[in-house]
Chains A and B, each alone.
Chain A
Amino acid sequence: MAGAALPLGRRLAGWARLKSPWITVYNSGACNACDIEIIACLMPRFDIERFGILVKGSPRHADIMIVTGNVTLKQASRLRRVWEQMPEPKYVIALGACGAAGGVFHGLYHVADDVNRVIPVDVYVAGCPPRPDEIIDAVVRCLGLMKEDAAHGGKEWRQEKPVPAPETGPAAGRRAA
């Protein structure tokens, strides 16, 4: 295990990261179902706080962003920007069939289908919508990724090619300026 060679500070930080993943939810045009299932995770039955997971309103405080649903064209640039506001190290979970490929909305004129077109996705979750236990499982898998990344010293080892920023239109360009 490469972790043993790391200095104590890094190991401590790695441990803390696994024990306190804070998530923020971004609805990029979903039908709500994924969102209510995420909220259902907070409930007494599932209670994700026992894993140290908190849902935070500000992306500045979050470690993991859960993107629910297909990305509508209007949300694409906003999603990218909110993602850029998150501090490193950050991870993205795309929820549901829509997050993976657009689901039933695949091919509609106002939908960009895959979340990965806009921001790099670390974990996909299947289901329409995924059950709360599957969402928790996805966060745990994401924690596994974090652990491996910490051992490799970064996320680059599992990325074949970096995800390019989406080509933005004239209006989006104006806004950014």
Chain B
Amino acid sequence: MAEVVIPIGPQHPALKEPVNFRIIADGEKIVRLELDLSYNHRGIEKAAEQRNFIRVLPLLERVCGICSHSHATNFAKGVEEIMALEIPPRARYIRTIIAELERMHSHLLWLGVAAHEIGFNTLFMWTWRDREAVQDTLEEMSGNRVHYGMNEIGGVRRDLTPAQIQAALSRLPVLEERVRQYRQMVESEETLLMRFRGVGRLSKEEVLKYGAVGPTARASGVDYDVRKDDPYLAYAEVPFNVVTDTSGDVYGRTRVRVGELGESLKIVRYCLEHIPEGPIRADAPHTAPEGETLSRYEAPRGELAHFIRTNGTDKAERIDIRTPTLANWTSVAVCLVNQNLADIPVIVAAIDPCLSCTSRLTVVNRNDGTAGVITFDELRRRRDRQWDRQELR
């Protein structure tokens, strides 16, 4: 039977960001997949080497609009480690609060987008309605809805007033109630279950082999979570659980994310109630001594790793950013094979791809479905014009 090549992207409604897949499909079944993520390559890593630490922070925040705090915090954390700088406890707590609020807004966003991918627009609207409450809290604390600009080397830039803490605490009960509703909805809504169950399944062994991270890995029962493994910020003092699931499919990833919403709410509540008094920043030198660190951080999408090498000046020698999405692509290529064409958006969305993160650097990956081994074929000249293209072979 003839195989059809379907180019998806760089502009496609399922993708809020540019990426190009070439799906080779047989009828409605996917045979193979080729990925090209380079559309967002901007050269941030090069720029990060040419700017000083103060200017790098806003730049890294704009690696990605959804996990902006993750990148900035992770970089600040790494540089502080090289400088051997202890940041004040209040600053740690504020960073933790923002980080968990960010995780909540990201997971709510994901839940909505996943619902949208299966055409369930009502859930999409509802989660985004509740996301506004999180956004309001973030805006009150940081002054911005998306790029918070809270971090600086040695602490945070804004303090939380008691009124802000009260306002944030007053919003939590509603969110807790809504998260309970979503958990119920996710576990009982019929069309949702039909589209999520058994789709894009990854076994525990596959997750370990292909190096998936974050909720994708935890949905398969792999309990990697940097917050527990290598506690940073205030996570060593805050009680919380790592949410895992055993099903390994999109449904499991949904349950993990909804579970993490609840955990994040608990963390935010704990931090707001137990925030210590004191200064919010330590005096940081402008230059960092020679040194290197692998700074890891549990971003909403999974483990984010920054490898930072400093050379005694106020600029970094090298900042190597490995985003969770990049680590997850290999596993996506594996679990897409032999799936239904209609499930592409769901499976791809299930890792919560953050392409602007990923394609500071670009990857093409392709998978030989039958053998289950990653082989890299020749990258053919891309046909980017999706609108009038049809190729049969």
Contact = CB atoms under 8 A, between A and B. Distances in A.
B18 interface: yes
B248 to A, nearest CB: 27
Interface of A: 25-37, 39-40, 42-45, 57, 59-60, 70, 72, 74-75, 78, 81-82, 85, 103-105, 107-111, 128-129, 131, 174-175
Given A40-B128, A74-B39, A129 B66 contact: no
27 contacts: A26-B11, A27-B11, A27-B17, A29-B42, A29-B356, A30-B17, A30-B40, A31-B64, A31-B65, A33-B62, A33-B65, A35-B17, A39-B16, A40-B132, A42-B125, A43-B125, A43-B128, A57-B12, A70-B42, A75-B10, A82-B11, A85-B387, A107-B47, A109-B46, A110-B41, A128-B62, A129-B146
Interface string B24-56: 000000000000001111111011000000000
A150 to B, nearest CB: 28
Contacts of A72: 39-42
Main SS of chain B's interface residues? Answer: loop
B145 interface: yes
Contact of A43 (B41, B64, B132, B387): B132
Interface string B189-207: 0000000000000000000
Given A39-B128, A103-B62, A109-B46, A32 B41 contact: no
Given A27-B16, A31-B356, 16 more contacts: A26-B11, A29-B41, A30-B65, A31-B63, A33-B62, A33-B65, A33-B147, A36-B65, A42-B128, A44-B129, A72-B40, A78-B384, A81-B384, A105-B42, A107-B47, A129-B65
Contacts of A43: 125, 128-129, 131-132
Nearest to B383: A175
Given A30-B356, A32-B16, A81-B385, A131 B145 contact: yes
B174 to A, nearest CB: 14
A128 B143 CA distance: 12
Contacts of B387: 60, 85
B146 A29 contact: no
Of B42, B44, B354, B356, most A-chain CB atoms within 10 Å: B42
B165 interface: no
A141 B356 CA distance: 29
A44 to B, nearest CB: 5
Contacts of B10: 75, 78
Given A74-B38, A104-B59, A111 B43 contact: yes
B259 interface: no
Nearest to B47: A108
Nearest to A132: B145
A48 B235 CA distance: 40
Given A72-B41, A75-B10, A108-B47, A31 B62 contact: yes
Contact of A36 (B125, B146, B383): B146
A31 B359 CA distance: 10
Contact of B17 (A32, A104, A110): A32
Q: In which size bucket is the chain B interface? A: 35 or more
Contact of A75 (B13, B39, B43, B381): B39
Contacts of B66: 32-33, 36
Contacts of A26: 11
Contact of A44 (B18, B40, B125, B356): B125
Contact of A37 (B40, B145, B354, B385): B145
A25 B132 CA distance: 21
Contact of B356 (A25, A32, A82, A174): A32
B381 to A, nearest CB: 8
B384 A175 contact: yes
A87 to B, nearest CB: 13
Contacts of A42: 125, 128
Contacts of B46: 108-109
Contact of B18 (A57, A75, A131, A174): A75
Contact of A35 (B16, B41, B385): B16
Contacts of B147: 33, 128-129
Contacts of A129: 65, 145-147
A72 B354 CA distance: 17
A75 B132 CA distance: 31
B134 to A, nearest CB: 12
A51 to B, nearest CB: 17
A160 B127 CA distance: 45
Q: Which of A59, A60, A81 counts the most chain B CB atoms within 10 A?
A: A81
Contacts of A103: 62
Most-contacted residue by chain A among B16, B58, B62 (CB, 10 A): B62
B43 A78 contact: no
Given A30-B356, A129-B146, A105 B47 contact: yes
Count chain B CB atoms within 10 A of each CB in A26, A75, A111 and give the residue with the most: A75
A32 B383 CA distance: 24
B68 interface: yes
A174 B132 CA distance: 46
B171 to A, nearest CB: 14
Contact of A33 (B18, B41, B68, B384): B68
A35 to B, nearest CB: 5
